[in-house]
Amino acid sequence: MRSSFAEARVDLDAISENIALLGRRASGAQTMGVVKADGYGHGLLPAARALLAGGATWLGTAFIEEAMELRAAGLDAPAIAWIVPPGAPLAAAIDADIDLGVSTRGLIDDIAAAARDLGRPARVHLKADTGMSRGGVTAEYWPDTVAAAARAEAEGLLRVVGLFSHFACSDEPGHPSIAAQIRVFHEALEIADKAGLRPEVRHLANSAATLTLPEAHFDLVRPGIASYGLSPIPGLTGTGLRPAMTLRAAVALVKRVPAGSGVSYGYRYTTDRATNLALVPLGYGDGVPRAATNVGPVFAGGARRTISGTVCMDQFMVDIGDDTVETGEYAVLFGPGDGGEPTAQDWADVLSTIPYEIVTRISPRVPRVYAKDARDQA
């Protein structure tokens, strides 16, 4: 933390409204609020509460430790952690009623052993690898995994609450892998059904699939990025989603410099005329990518401009020409976009990345401020 006036303002109402909108698009399925990675940078607990307030009935995290934080704060909605590496705190998770994603046959034995020791059944979701080749059990090992889970369930050591998978290319509508993955998921469900498993929820849809693939909604959808108001599909407009995070900092210094002044480390920007430079106290130590040097968009002094020169650890400069900006006035790096400021999508576009990375990388050094209207100057 620090005393300079930089903040990531988070509009929690936007998060609630976004998840409500996604719930209405979910063909009657339940919605899971995905809060991994500190709620995509928006703050784990405030985001989780806003998602539940907006109608999410489940919460999803990558790791058990993230789900434990939800429990420690008293949030008792069903919650799943879907990456469970060797050595993960299984007993603590079972004890805290955290559902476990299972991507290997061996994990079933480990979970069953932990449940036996604890004297309490675990809740698991078996993950099928339907074609992403990341987490999940491949088709070859699926029948054996399902059979092992059914045996452990019969012994009272676990309950198979869910069956799930994840899309590789749902952000590219029409990609042939989408239909293929849905087909393989149906086959996996059928095998599980024949083995006697009766899950409460079958789930496959991330944000892109929630918005564009009703046939993938099943019983539960897991939209992450869209609930934070950002599009999972580049160029997809008219979704009605509202970006929840605004990153801004009060201009710390303004100075007039002559033509030909080299600006910031390495002189990667040189003024072509006498001009005013504004210093914005946010840098790569705050999660502003150094690659935004000379390309990052910023709203400052009433207009949209571009970062001038190298992004430093704690600061960058903006050439504002003959315009003026008062010190203390906010420079906005990104926000909802309706006040002339850039969006996280704009940042992603100039940096050849995705908006997920832009919001998630904002470091803990930047205070999160929770405000109804993220553009308030208060």
Cβ nearer to ligand PLP, comparing 146 with 221 = 221
Residue 220 has what DSSP assignment? E
**Residue 265 is a catalytic residue:** yes
Catalytic residue among 40, 127, 228, 265: 265
In the range 21-40, which residues lie near ligand PLP by CB under 6 A?
A: 34
Task: Give the C-alpha distances (Å, rounded to integers) separating 238 from 230, 233, 241.
Answer: 12, 12, 8
CA distance 194 to 199: 12
Half-sphere exposure of 335 toward its Cβ, with a 13 Å CA cutoff?
27
Between CA 274 and CA 353, with CA 295 as vertex, the angle to 5 degrees is: 170
Give the residue from 21, 31, 26, 20 showing the smallest Cα distance to 239.
21
222 sits near ligand PLP (criterion: CB under 6 A):
yes
Among 42, 166, 217, 242, binds ligand PLP (CB under 6 A): 166
Beta strands per DSSP E along 67-134: 79-81, 98-102, 122-127
Choice between 226 and 300, CB closer to ligand PLP: 226
Residues 122, 108: Cα–Cα separation, whole Å: 10
Q: Is 72 exposed, middle or buried (0-12, 13-18, 19+ CB in 10 A)?
A: exposed
Q: Report the residue closest to ligand PLP, judged by CB.
A: 224
User: Is 36 annotated as catalytic?
Assistant: yes
Q: What number of residues does the chain have?
A: 378
Per annotation, catalytic residue among 36, 40, 228, 356: 36
The residue within the footprint of ligand PLP, chosen from 16, 61, 145, 207 (CB under 6 A), is 207
CB 17 within 8 A of CB 54: yes
Choice from 82, 185, 269, 284 touching ligand PLP (CB under 6 A): 82
- Is residue 122 a contact residue for ligand PLP (CB under 6 A)? no
Residue 34 CB, nearest approach to ligand PLP (Å) = 5
CB of residue 30 vs ligand PLP: minimum separation in angstroms? 14
Stretch that binds ligand PLP, among 47-55, 145-153, 221-229, 336-344 (CB under 6 A): 221-229
Q: Smallest distance, Å, CB 22 to ligand PLP?
A: 9
* Sole window of 115-123, 172-180, 223-231, 284-292 interacting with ligand PLP (rule: CB under 6 A): 223-231
Q: Which of 223, 289, 337, 342 binds ligand PLP (CB under 6 A)?
A: 223
If one asks whether residue 78 binds ligand PLP (CB under 6 A), the answer comes out as no
| Alpha-carbon span 233 to 207, nearest angstrom | 9
Active-site residue list:
36, 265
- Write out the residues near ligand PLP by the rule CB under 6 A: 34, 82, 166, 206-207, 222-226, 232
